[in-house]
Structure 1
Amino acid sequence: MGTPTAAPHVMVLPFPAQGHVTPLMELSHRLVDRGFQVTFVSTEPVHALVLDAMRSSSPGPAGDGSAQLNGIRLASVPDGLADGADRRDLSRFLDALSLCVPGHVERLIRETKVEWLVGDVNMGVCFQAARKLGVRVAAVFPASAACLGTLFKVPQLIEEGFPKRHGLFELAPGMPPMCPSQMPWSIDGDVAGQEVAYQLVTRNTQAARVHAEVIVCNSFRDAEAAALELFPSILPIGPLFADEELMRPVAQMLPEDTGCLPWLDARADGSVVYIAFGSFAIVNPRQFEELALGLERTGRPFLWVVRPGFTAGNELSKQAWFDEFQCRVAGRGMVVSWCPQQKVLAHRAVACFVSHCGWNSTMEGVRNGARFLCWPYFVDQFANRSYVCDIWRTGLAVSPGEDGVVTKEEVSSKVDRVAGDEGIADRARVLKDAACRCVAEGGSSHENFNRFVHLLRG
């Protein structure tokens, strides 16, 4: 028998946001399990946040610009913005990222001598630089196949009159209907910012089609049968997870409050409402108060993630009503700034998940049989809501009033309906079982991952 070929060194490059960093870190752990060397590249602000969060939970490595994480080398590149710049100005952030990062990634490729760039489609601006150096490219899309397929179809849609057409349209039965004002590049801001986002998204998608030898996504066949049939070049390898025991770090950008886990242990099965809106969503103070009062009205135990910057103005500490609210719900409600979400969703006590419907959170919920109350914020989250509410039927959506505010009555009413609906619970369990079959030995996602690994070894 011959000596087995050494697995190559790959560079993994996520878009710098939590919902992208986590699934690509999960993929990195899986590649390390197969014997690969992995260099995981973040922008400098994300790199610093990840290291700080790691140190807060356990003694971390000395900061020398790189670090080791369970066999994964962490490295960083500048993102093109000065320290202290507002990275929530998405059009400015995206513009700076596309101008700055490719050159630094090229430098890092030269230094590390990797054989593959395993890159987020949303970092497609870096793919040509890799190919120029003879490095092969594999693209990873951390959102749904339907979202990526829609981006593939944009040139054809424009020829057919999009975005001038009004109302919903669907690419195929069984796929989420699309709305021209709620496309994957839809961000807050002016028309110029929307144009920057659109140009970058379409350029990245085109780069993936031209330069990547394979495109994989964090999804599974049973979740998106219609989209995957329409776009067979997209290989689903999800739902991604780092390890069955949920012990490996997945590059959280905020310190996790693990005190919520013993708190959950003390709660009855299927009793707790879990509320988390990801790393980007921002609500105005009035909406924040309505949400708080709605949770109080339910009378149910709840675990609520209120991360720094979640409210416009970020002045919760100055709001006496919030202190009074926390006193009233003490013992029944727990408010944390961040939490180990996968462990929370896997906990027997959780009854339903009030979510912004980011795809990463959606897949984590699906994998754990969660019932959803959907509250989308931007980009692909509206299509994800359609998957949950209309196609899988594993949850309901909030309905804002004419002023755009979801009232406390709406919050409490919908939470009660989701938590008490056994049909939703049954369908969520069926979808969970399907996800488990897909990632198990012989399942479609497992086999696609094997094909992916075989290509990277080639």
Structure 2
Amino acid sequence: MDQTASSAKPHVLILPFCAQGHIKPMFKLGQLLCHAGLRISFVNSEHNHQNLLRQIDLLAFQAQYPEFSFLSIPDGLAVDHPRSGLTSGDLFLPPARSVMTQHLNELITGFIGRNTKPACIIADGVMCFAIHVAREFEIPSITFRTYSATCTWAYFHFKTLTQEGLVPLPEGVDMDNPVTCIQGLENLLRNRDLPIMCRYKVAARAVEFFIEETSIMAQASALLLNTFDELEAPLISKLRSIFNKIYTIGPIHSLYKSYIKSNLPQSNGLSNTSGSLVQEERSCMTWLESKPPKSVLYVSFGSVVELKQNQLLEFWHGLVNSEKFFLWVIRSDLISGEKDAGQNVPAELKEGTMDRGCIVSWAPQEEVLAHPAVGGFMTHSGWNSTLEGIAAGVPMICWPLISDQQVNSRCVSDIWKTGLDMKDKCDKVIIEQMVRDLMENKKDEIRISAEEKGRLAQESVEKGGSSYNNFEKLIEDIRSMALARAHESS
């Protein structure tokens, strides 16, 4: 492509946090912006950069996205650092942040030297050092919080919760007591629905970190959210008291498909552009083809959550005893401290799984949830998974453990009424009963609500829908940023 034509395109630098759940939606955003005619620099940590490229047919990808560049910076951790489970918190510590800040500075300096200064930086909501860097270079910044609007609003109240002595939760407190100091959520959240870090004094530094990051987020030019207006309008409205501009463009994975269809009907897409850092096992799709409609429970606890061996067995007994078909993602590192999860299980569980189950190490989740055979989703309630379940119209059983998951599961059960909340319980009898309740009630309130939310999600990403229009506005505003910079430099 002609260099002059290339450099004339607005240049956007995208910086996700160093975890799959954050990389995935921001990678989709980068592809969407590239389809819209922008030039993208997608900046991963060196560790995740290599993992992502291993899952992509790079030649095919670059043929479809010639203006999409994969770049990387060090994350400040040792090469042999596991970067998983609790150890991923080391990415929040000052040494790692200092290294990433330094190398982001150097990267942007290089762009300026080549006369390709970004028109804007879109940074993850927990990579807020990028907002300071953007200000130093006089570049507009957009913060992309990869949580729900509801959870984002809750995080803005962490400071109030700590000042009033409500966090960390006092010893012996009733976990079902309501949390009344978060405006708009007074009658929804209980102590047990706050992010897990709020329960422990030893996590006080983590709470402080998120208070600091959330405060810096408010300094960005705009907030970008992977949600849709029809799902979270009241809380999106609350966030407008903090941000002058908010772009709600979710579900991003659905918008991606809709936008390509509307603007590039000749495009057949790519075989793997999901943003997954691990290899997907597609054999499960063949297994699903042999099952009746809405007969399979899909089970996945995401890419980070770790279980104990006894918890794994409780889930396994509950699933087998429910006598329902189930497709279960068991990562090799799912069990804390073990490298080969799911091997040492009783014979009766293996037999029950042979009859009714399919186990894979990783699945093409969006395709699985959209398959007619899938009638339920047992999930850790990470936001990507929650939104993918909502978009597919599939009712959920929520078992949250970390981060935003507690808030999401409460929203699923008590606001959107698209699922059941099983937090703080891990008992085979309860699991069996919840699976039966979800899978056997074909026309109950939960299933009807799930299907309705799925319809609204789809409408939001179609041409003329709220998320589609908001994405068009985002493109328009980025082009205006680029034009303003061009005028300043001329």
Same fold by TM-score greater than 0.5: yes
Q: 1:73 to 1:326 in 2, by over 3 A?
A: farther
SS of equivalent residue, structure 1 residue 42: strand
* Deviation of the 1:172 alpha carbon: 4.0
Q: Secondary structure at the match of 1:250?
A: coil
Q: Distance in 2 between matches of 1:383 and 1:265?
A: 34
Partner of 2:336: 312
Distance in structure 1 (CA, Å) of the matches to 2:80 and 2:100 = 18
CA deviation after TM superposition for structure 1 residue 332, in Å: 2.5
Change (3 A) 1:177 1:105: farther
Match of 2:123 in 1: 119
Q: Which aligned pairs between 1:7-406 and structure 2 lie closer than 5 A?
A: 7-54=9-56, 60=58, 70-71=65-66, 72-87=68-83, 88=85, 89-95=87-93, 96-112=95-111, 113-163=117-167, 167-170=177-180, 171-173=182-184, 177-179=188-190, 183-184=194-195, 186=197, 191-192=201-202, 194-210=203-219, 212-232=220-240, 233=243, 234-241=246-253, 242-244=256-258, 247=270, 249-316=273-340, 319-321=343-345, 325-330=349-354, 332-398=356-422, 400=424, 406=426
TM-fit CA distance, 1:146: 1.4
Q: How many Å separate the matches in 2 of 1:339 and 1:304?
A: 9
1:174–1:154 distance in 2 versus 1, CA, 3 Å: closer
Residue 10 of structure 1 contacts residue 117 of structure 1 at CA under 8 Å; is this kept in 2?
A: yes
TM-score (norm 1): 0.89
Q: Where in structure 2 are the equivalents of 1:419-458 lying within 5 Å?
A: 419-421=439-441, 422-423=443-444, 424-458=446-480
Normalising by structure 2, we get a TM-score of: 0.83
Deviation at 1:24, TM superposition (A): 0.5
- Aligned letter for 1:91? G
% identical aligned pairs: 29
**Could you tell which deviates more after superposition, 314-323 or 436-445?**
314-323
Q: Residue 123 of structure 1: CA displacement?
A: 0.6
Q: Per-residue deviation at 1:163?
A: 2.8
Residue 330 of structure 1 aligns to a residue whose secondary structure is helix
* 1:78 alignment partner AA: P
Quick one: structure 1 residues 51 and 321, their matched pair in 2 at CA, closer, same or farther if it must change by over 3 Å? same
User: Does residue 414 of structure 1 match 2:434?
Assistant: yes
Q: Is the 8 A contact 1:91 1:196 kept in 2?
A: no
SS at 2:231 equivalent: coil
Pairwise CA RMSD: 2.8
Measure the CA separation in 2 of the matches of 1:227 and 1:175.
12
**Structure 1 unaligned runs (5+)?**
none
Once structures 1 and 2 are overlaid, which stretch shifts more, 254-263 or 157-166? 157-166
> What are the ranges of 5 or more consecutive residues in structure 2 without an aligned counterpart?
112-116, 259-267, 481-490
Specify the SS of the correspondent of 1:367: helix
SS in structure 2 opposite 1:275? strand
Distance 2:178 2:330 in 1: 33
Deviation at 1:148, TM superposition (A): 1.4
Q: Is the 8 A contact 2:332 2:341 kept in 1?
A: no
Change (3 A) 1:133 1:61: same
* Greater helix share, structure number: 2
Alpha-carbon deviation of 1:177? Answer: 3.4
